[in-house]
Amino acid sequence: QVQVVQSGGGLVQAGGSLRLSCTVSGTLFNINGMGWYRQAPGKQRELVATITRGGSTNYADSVKGRFTISRDNAENTVYLQMNSMKPEDTAEYYCHADSKDKDDGSEYNYWGQGTQVTVSS
């Protein structure tokens, strides 16, 4: 069975830092893309950052220059280093990963349980 386990999160003051981690285990095929999404109360879930297996990254405009996504392919782990945090970063953060069956083209998506990040002013 597939497990997606997140850690990190919590309460920080504006200008502070937090580091999130997420490990995916039990998958039948190699993990391709990994990333982080967040959802604030009353708002849509939005993409924060993604990273391919080869290391190509993509960031939401709101976090560019402040957040850094990285991954360890050997451990199927993705990280999100959040610096210079702002109150608007407050949200539930979710880890995401995907894989594909090269034989039949089937795609699989996995989500973490979510972790609360709160930034006080």
Q: What is the percentage of the chain residues whose pLDDT exceeds 70?
A: 100
Q: Give tens-digit pLDDT for 20-37.
A: 999 999 987 889 999 999
Show Cβ contacts of residue 77 under 8 Å, excluding neighbours closer than 6 positions.
21, 22, 23, 24, 71
Whose CA is closest to 21, among 36, 3, 2? 36
CA distance 51 to 57: 4
* pLDDT tens track for 45-65: 999 999 999 999 999 999 999
Percent of the chain at pLDDT > 90 equals 88
